Amino acid sequence: MKEIIALLRRHGIQATPQRIAIAECVLKADAHPTADAVWEAVKRAHPTVSRATVYNTLHLFCERNMIKSQILKEGIAVFDRNTGPHHHFIDEGTGEIIDIPWESLEVIGEESLQGFEIREYQVVIRGRKKTG
Amino acid sequence: MKEIIALLRRHGIQATPQRIAIAECVLKADAHPTADAVWEAVKRAHPTVSRATVYNTLHLFCERNMIKSQILKEGIAVFDRNTGPHHHFIDEGTGEIIDIPWESLEVIGEESLQGFEIREYQVVIRGRKKTG
DNA sequence: GTTCGTGCAAACGGTTTGCAACAAT
DNA sequence: ATTGTTGCAAACCGTTTGCACGAAC
């Protein structure tokens, strides 16, 4: 709670009850919520928050590099508290998104691609999480 | 033209003028059109096609594995005639999507990921195409 | 009192759906 | 006559925008 406020301050964001609630939700470990999922969650504590506030706040967080938005699913953006480079696994059954640590995979050959100025890259894996 | 009809038949799709036009458009080399781009293009030859027909037809092609839809950009699907495995480069300036041949890159370590049943994976690179 | 954050509602753009007309078998 | 295909319009969903109210420096 105190840390969240400090974190917001550190990113030049004025702390408000709504923003704190949104930050708490989206910074939860291993969460990749959609904007609407954040809205639903935040509404439990702040029943009056508007969708617009949630969207605006998430964009603000992205601009300030607190979180990153990822386009991995059909037509919807999900938010990722992990702003460093990492890969993603997408469960095609459940839609669940799982971070894969950067060191788990190695990509070879990207430096030798001609004609591209690479800013970032990631491996996107689709399949199913093994049950059990 | 004849080949397109044969191709449709081969995928169990009845050939109609609209479908042939849509197929011609989306199967063009190196094209990654959006559904609306296909609609615009097809309208030139068939001014009466409806958006719905284009969307339905593209979905049909996807189901029948003639093309693949990719979710790489904000909120819009693009269609890819390259149904085999390959990687993608996305120009962050223009939004252009470029296929990277599968053999250009090698990913190491994906077999040793625990708990995942991998169906497919690809490297998604973001950056800028070098000018000149 | 000016700036910043909020809530509401309406608009937006891409996509989907329901339905009636139509063509093909 | 049945089946499949089309066009239209309306609905839909995630997202964005405009604006007025209110709180905070």
With CB atoms and an 8 Å threshold, state whether A110 touches B109: no
Instruction: Note the pLDDT tens digit of each residue in B17-52.
Output: 999 999 999 998 778 999 999 999 999 999 999 999
Q: Are residues B25 and B43 in the same domain?
A: yes
What total number of domains does chain B contain?
2
pLDDT beyond 90 at B125: yes
Six token digits for residue A43: 């509404």
Nearest to A109 among B104, B109, B127 (CB): B104
Is B37 among the domain residues? Answer: yes
Q: Are residues A75 and A53 in the same domain?
A: yes
Is B132 among the domain residues? Answer: no
Q: Are residues B54 and B76 in the same domain?
A: yes
Q: Are residues A22 and A64 in the same domain?
A: yes
The pLDDT assigned to A72 comes to 84
Pick from B61, B80, B99: which residue ends a domain?
A: B80
Nearest to A89 by CA among B96, B116, B84: B116
Say if strands A106-108 and B106-108 run parallel, antiparallel, or are unpaired. Answer: antiparallel
Q: Are residues A112 and A72 in the same domain?
A: no
Residue A56 CA to residue A124 CA, distance in Å, equals 27
Six token digits for residue B51: 């958006």
Nearest to B125 among A92, A118, A125 (CB): A118
Pick from A44, A65, A80: which residue ends a domain?
A: A80
Q: Are residues B25 and B62 in the same domain?
A: yes
Q: Are residues A76 and A104 in the same domain?
A: no
Q: How many CB atoms lie within 10 A of CB A127?
A: 17
Contacts of B122 in chain A (CB under 8 A): 123-124
Chain D bases closer than 7 A to any CB of the protein? 4-10, 14-18
Q: Are residues A30 and A46 in the same domain?
A: yes
| CATH code: domain of residue B39 | 1.10.10.10
Instruction: Note the pLDDT tens digit of each residue in B50-109.
Output: 999 999 999 999 999 999 998 887 778 999 998 899 999 999 888 889 999 999 999 999
Is A17 among the domain residues? Answer: yes
Q: Are residues A7 and A41 in the same domain?
A: yes
Six token digits for residue B60: 């049909």
Mutate to test the interface with B, among A124, A126, A128 (most CBs of B within 10 A): A124
The pLDDT assigned to B73 comes to 78
Is A132 among the domain residues? Answer: no
* pLDDT tens, N- to C-terminus, chain A (132 residues): 788 999 999 999 999 999 999 999 999 878 899 999 999 999 999 999 999 999 999 999 999 999 999 988 877 899 999 999 999 999 988 889 999 999 999 999 999 999 999 999 999 999 999 887
Domain interval for residue A118: 86-127
Type and span of the H or E element at B92: none
B116-128 in b/e form (b: 16+ CB < 10 A) is beeeebbbbbbbb
pLDDT tier at B131, thresholds 50, 70, 90: confident
The pLDDT assigned to B71 comes to 85
List all residues of chain A from 78 to 107 with a beta carbon under 8 Å from chain B. Answer: 89, 92, 100, 104-107
Dump the DSSP string for chain A.
-HHHHHHHHHTT----HHHHHHHHHHTSTT---BHHHHHHHHHHH-TT--HHHHHHHHHHHHHTTSSEEEEEETTEEEEES--S--EEEEETTT--EEEE-GGG-EEESGGG-TTEEEEEEEEEEEEEEPP-
Q: Are residues A68 and A92 in the same domain?
A: no
B40 Cβ contact partners less than 8 Å away, ≥ 6 residues apart: none
A128, β-bridge pairs: B117
The pLDDT assigned to B83 comes to 81
With CB atoms and an 8 Å threshold, state whether A126 touches B118: yes
Is B68 among the domain residues? Answer: yes
The pLDDT assigned to A13 comes to 94
The pLDDT assigned to A76 comes to 87
Q: Are residues A20 and A67 in the same domain?
A: yes
Contacts of B123 in chain A (CB under 8 A): 107, 110, 121-124
Q: In residues, how long is chain B?
A: 132
3-state DSSP call for residue B63?
A: helix
Name the pTM for this structure. 0.88
A70 Cβ contact partners less than 8 Å away, ≥ 6 residues apart: A32, A77, A78, A79, A80, A88, A97
Q: Are residues B27 and B43 in the same domain?
A: yes
Is A64 among the domain residues? Answer: yes
Is A15 among the domain residues? Answer: yes
The pLDDT assigned to A11 comes to 94
